[in-house]
Structure 1
Amino acid sequence: MQEAGEFRLPAFAAALLEIREEVSAIDKHLESLIAEIPTLTSGCTEFVDSAEHILEKRKMNQTLLANHSTLLDLLEIPQLMDTCVRNGNYDEALDLEAFVGKLTTMHPKIPVIQALATEVQQTTQSLLSQLLQKLRSNIQLPECLRIIGYLRRIGVFSEYEMRLQFLRCREAWLTGILDDLDQRNPYEYLKGMINCHRMHLFDVVNQYRAIFADDTSGNEENYDGGLLFDWAMHQITLHLKSLKVMLPKITEGGSLSNILDQCMYCAMGLGWVGLDFRGLLPPLFEEAVLNLFAKNMSTAVENFQIYDTNVSIYPVSPGFSSLGPTASSSPANSLGEESQDDITPPSSLMEHPPLAVFINGVSAAMNELRPCAPLSLKVVLAQELVKGLQAVSDSLLRYNTTRMLRDNESVLFLKLCQSFIEVAFPHCATCFNRCYPGGAALITDAKNLFDGISRLLATSTSRELPKPVHNTEAKNVAENGTPRTVENGVLHGVERTASLSPEEKEQNNVSPQKEEKTTIREDAQRSPFFKDRHYLDKEWGHHFSVGCGAGNTIFPLLATYPYIFIHACDFSPRAVNLVKYPQKKCLWWCRISEKFSRKGSLARNKRSVKTSMLGVMALRWVQAVFQRADTYKSSGASTGNEPTHLQGDCDKRKDDINGFEIDISEGMAFAMFGISSSSEEIIELTIRDCFFKIKVLSKEYQHTCTSTGLMLWESARLMASVLAANQEIVAGKRVLELGCGCGGICSMVAARSANLVVATDGDTKALDLLTENIASNLKSPSLDSLKVKKLEWGNGNDIEAIKQLNEKGFDIIIGTDVTYIPEAIIPLFATARELISTTRVTKNNTEPALILCHVLRRVDEPSILSAASKYGFRLADRWPDHQLPNSSYGGIIKSWFSDECQYEVPSTALNIMYFHIA
């Protein structure tokens, strides 16, 4: 080795160097290895942990796989419970709910169990809603027991809350039954309501007592504090309130009697559960009976007054004798007898239609009272009957004092009064005695109600009544047989002598010592002279009376129209003084002229100056004011009211005038009366920012024309001012004006803001003037939205033509002074009901309305309201007295007359009535 080393030393040196290098490299690698050992250690640790986690998951997956079917059943519990609830399997649903609740208690932290509990709770709420809904349906006691059992298992309500929920649900069910009843028929509604309470209220009380009867432990938590009693009293109170509201709407006594019987039967049945309310019924039915009787009596009196107002002469029916012993011996006087003849209306009443109408109304009231006549109302109902008789008596007295009757009319009127006392009054007492035995004494004791009529009859019988004569004879024959003359509507005979001046008496050979006392009836409303003169209803502020005499013409006119101004004149100073100083205080203003300018030679006449003056004035009045017949015909009007009609009333002694030279030229007419030669005139008026020139018939010709549409009424001016100041009334709406006449100012004002305006009238001449006025006052676009159509109220063809212009109906219907003719009221409201819209205006959600502006004349407000109600209209507001009881619309018209809007009201007698569809 040594030897080898000696010989191979270089090799060993190289090897040594190599070995040293390799050892250095190994040393470096070992250091690197030592540095990487911690990393390797941590990696191994992580691997061990990961392996353990994987092993755990694998173990859980193996466990889940082993319990797959069980977990699937648990996850299906919410869906299964919902299916059970939908199918009505409430027991199974509640079992599932209890099972999930147990799982939640055992494993509160398991997410799957928590998710199951949330879903099951939602399903439980659905179950609770279904159970409560079943309590609101028609179910019997067994079903109620089951539902209450389910609610107790759910455990949502306490015991008190459960009782309260039960009563609430049963009340909701009863309310639903009542809501399904038709309230448009009060009788049927009350029948259904009473039957509902009689059957179902009794069942609910029994169900409550049966379900909660086992809670007798006395625990405070179970005590309901009289909950059932309070609920039952609440239901009875609602029942009585419904009776109080609906009973006044029943208009038949038989129906009231049936409702009373059913209420008594219902209360008696509920008495078995302690809810007998029979003691609370009498006041309700007494009030209903009293209101029904009072309404029927009011209708009877109203019909009598309407008939009495519209019929000035009471014709005697053929075949009936005059009242006398026959009337006084009528069976109606035997009040104590109970035979059928006692309640048969005496046939003698047919001689007097107003009394017959009234007795028919009283009989109808008694027939409605008979089935349901409370004994406690005996005295009150007797007072109502006496009140109606008193109203008839007052109407008769008022008729006597406000009418100037001819002799034959006076005889008939006195017979009517006698028949009222001797026949109608005892018959009413007999009818009341039938309803209330012994009640006739309450009526007969009120004999003072016709003391005025008795005095009237006593006064009339103290003097010999003239025998009724034919109408033509009555006009020319005085009471003493002396022929009468008619001068300016005043009968002149013995009475005219009293109003002559001493000079006139001397010229007519009438001794002043033989002057008779004149009786002036200044409180009369109208005489036969006015009964067919429609022009007196026109709104004139000034009138002129020629030959006023003692006031027989002007005083009735002033009493009817107290706001007019009359210029009166007469040749007799005595007549002027009588008019100036009437016996009663005047409530009007009258200007009297003692002299009157006249032309024409009177010297050539050989008759008395008085006769000449009267003849000249009569002919001048007729010819100057009414013009000649040919002039009247040339104006295009009808010849129904020709001048000769009134000329005959003014002076029948035409032959007295033939010898006079009378200046009756147009100049004389203008000097005497201010009459123009033209039959038309232009009225200029400004309404807000609108200026109109309206062509109308001149005032001198208006009273000779049968049409009332050829003038501009004050009501139209007021209504046009209201529409101009309150454009929202018609803005964007469809407007119809009824009876607009030739002016049409309301339609022209409405056309500025309305979508469509239709102006109508039944007179073709008025429509011609209206078309001309519209064309001269309006321009586009207002002119394009205004249509003119002929419309006669009640005419089917005209109504259909209007409907073709607007099929949806009109939102606003306006009528100005369209209520002065009684016969036109029914067609007016019938036409308005056909053409008015039945839907609200969507723009401002307002109801369709009918607006009437007028002066009450021959048609009173109750007649208007009666006709309106008949065709489905109800009064929502009125002006000036706009406060309406029980109305939610009060103040509609008042808002039109705000402080910012200033109006000039042409007449204090104007009224505005605002109607809605009932």
Structure 2
Amino acid sequence: MADAILELLDPHIDANASATTSRSPRSRSTDATTTKYLNRLTSLSLEQLKSAEPQSISQSAHSTLLSLQALSNRSHKALISSSDHLSTLRSLVPSLEQDAKNLQEGIPRLDSEAVRFSTTYSKSSENPHLDRRKKAMQLSRNVDRISDILELPALLSTAVSTSSATAGPAAGSSVSANYSTALDLYSHIKRLQTFYPDSPLIKDIILQAEDAMKTMTTNLIAGLRTQNIRLAAAMRTIGWLRRVAPELEHPQRNRGSTASGEGALGALFLVCRLANLVSTLDALDPLRELADQETQRRVEAASKERVSSSKSSAWTGGQQTERFLKRYIEIYREQSFAIVSLYKNIFTPEPIESDHQMPTILPGLELKSLNLKTQPPAKRIRKTDPLQVLPPAVATFPMHLVRLLTDTLRAYLPNVRDKSSRESLLSQVLYCAGSLGRLGGDFSMILTELEGEDQGEEDGEIVREWEEITRKHRALAGRLEQLTSGQLRGASSSPK
């Protein structure tokens, strides 16, 4: 019934309807509201349709208009935004469809790339990029440790340079602390080398540390040449050298070393102290030049004497030479005794096993001066290679010291013609020989060979004076010994 009425009213509705409506007859026929309203119309009478229905429709339209106005006033922004979105919906829906299609096509490629990435950079695979990243991360975690390791050569160089800068008699404790710190740092660096032998960083640090140790070795060797070195300082320096340069203590392990176990350190110590002695004696060059001038004048006077065959031009000078020799012998006596004494206190020699031993540290020196010969043993129990075990360096060192003194005496003592002055100088030499004699290096007998090839009768007199002074001193020493022994016997026999 509603459909029939709708068909009858459809032409009138299309003529009177608004131009903005977009509903088709089919849509209107299927509209539930329209169908409900048409069913309601069929239930009304004709009188109600003419009188009450128009008024009801007018009231409903007015109420709907007021509702629309209130809604427009309240929600006009949302309506405008909805209208705008609705106008762009036609273009957005195809774009969304195309994007969804592209996403669907890209998912397989994304999956394959993810599988490739997982296979390439997995923990079980070997990849240089992963290794480099691991190393970078490990470096980042250990950057503090590495910075501390990189500072070790600088700290070592600072300790060594500070020790050399503050070296002196009043800075013994600070120098000792700095050198001990340097040696501890070097030991730590060597320990790092054993832990990481293939690390290029550690190898570079080792090279820098070895350069610093070479500088320290140079400073220590220079310290052995200082003036008036004490026993404690010398022992500390030798101890540091043993730690810094152990190859000096055992230079040839496979071919044998010295019997005292000193290696090359003993010879190094003696050479340094000898250099100090020579430099100290070189400070007497102004006096030596005056003595050389007197030597030249003496030679000229001797040549004139030979030419004129008279003694009118005999040499009577020698005062400057006496001053030079007196000071020379004083320095020589003090320094030579100190050198050998320090050596014997630092390097305690062990007894050398041999078929015959000399109690002196100058083997063969007194025998040569006395023209004595030792008889070789009839039969040797054990035959050894003399190159297997080397003697201590001090065994031949005093011979060099004696040669320094004898050469000087042979060159300048003939200038001193005054007998009392010459006896005074010879007495000083005798005391010097006695000082070294307490250490096993008495050279008093070798001075009997002072005359040279070009010496004359007056120079031979010096040797005779030396022999006479030696006999006097020995006789005096014998009387003092008897007097001392007599006093001791008297003290022991006296009643308590």
Give the TM-score normalised by the residue count of structure 1. 0.26
Whose Rg is larger?
A: 2
Larger helix percent: 2
Q: Relative CO higher for 1 or 2, CA cutoff 8 Å, sep ≥ 6? A: 2
Larger strand percent: 1
Give the TM-score normalised by the residue count of structure 2. 0.47
